Amino acid sequence: KTFRPRKKFEPGTQRFELYKKAQASLKSGLDLKAVVQLPPGESINDWIAVHVVDFFNRINLIYGTMSEYCTERSCPIMSGGLKYEYRWQDDSKYKKPTKLSAPQYMCMLMDWIEMLINNEDIFPTRIGVPFPKQFQQVCTKILTRLFRVFVHVYIHHFDSIINMGAEAHVNTCYKHFYYFIREFSLIDHRELEPL
């Protein structure tokens, strides 16, 4: 229910080429700190857009693989341990921060991100169409909420990840995500405290 098909970049577009660059550098075994740096001459907004979509795909897949262990019963509150509780607010249906179970939160999150990245006014895909002024703010909010998925998975479901033999993949994805958000200061440092 929370798993979404991968979002793809159109072949022949600048974002497709940036995506290929990012994927090639990840597969080459390079230092992830270096991989996240903006390639010379590239637009920072394009680079961020490519990574936001890629992280959405990867984190959605991670959660999808272990979602059977994250149920209303096992996770009645979206949290990161006893100290951190995450409430949902989207300014449409949930105008105030609302306590949800982890599966509900994840479903709302993936729907919300999918709606944003498919919105041409926020994530334009046509050449020459500029990004909106608030683009990086929107990406910060998306990445902050995706980080919370890592928090929940690591604190509440890492044993399931280990049992599936997926810990190396999850750890590499987290490391790539972490270096990227730190490189561009995209998440408030306080949000990072749980991990």
Give 83-105 pLDDT, tens digit per residue.
999 999 998 899 999 999 999 99
Q: Would residue 114 count as lying in a domain?
A: yes
pLDDT score, position 8: 57
Q: Would residue 14 count as lying in a domain?
A: no
Domain carrying residue 100:
44-190
Is 152 annotated in a binding site? The answer is yes
Q: Would residue 18 count as lying in a domain?
A: no
Distance CA 186, CA 70 (A): 27
Is 157 annotated in a binding site? The answer is yes
Q: Would residue 155 count as lying in a domain?
A: yes
Burial class from Cβ neighbours inside 10 Å (0-12, 13-18, 19+) for residue 6 reads exposed
Q: Would residue 5 count as lying in a domain?
A: no
Distance CA 186, CA 143 (A): 7
Domain count, the chain: 1
Per-residue pLDDT of the chain (195 residues; tens, 9 = 90+): 444 444 555 666 555 555 555 454 444 456 888 889 999 999 999 999 999 999 999 999 999 998 999 999 999 999 999 999 999 999 889 999 999 999 999 999 999 999 999 999 999 988 889 999 999 999 999 999 999 999 999 999 999 998 988 888 899 999 999 999 999 999 999 999 999
Specify the CATH number for the domain of residue 57: 1.20.140.30
Is 75 annotated in a binding site? The answer is yes
Q: Would residue 23 count as lying in a domain?
A: no
HEC string of 128-148 equals CCCCCCCHHHHHHHHHHHHHH
**pTM, two decimal places:** 0.85
97 contacts 87 by C-beta, under 8 angstroms:
yes
Q: Would residue 195 count as lying in a domain?
A: no
Q: Would residue 133 count as lying in a domain?
A: yes
Q: How far is residue 87 from each of residues 46, 61, 144, 170, measured CA to CA in Å? A: 30, 22, 13, 24
pLDDT score, position 126: 86
pLDDT score, position 174: 94
Reported as a single tens digit per residue, the pLDDT across 46-79 is 999 999 999 999 999 999 998 999 999 999 999 9
pLDDT score, position 169: 87
pLDDT score, position 31: 82
Distance CA 49, CA 126 (A): 13
Report which of 140, 107, 144, 139 is spatially closest to residue 123, judged by C-alpha positions.
139
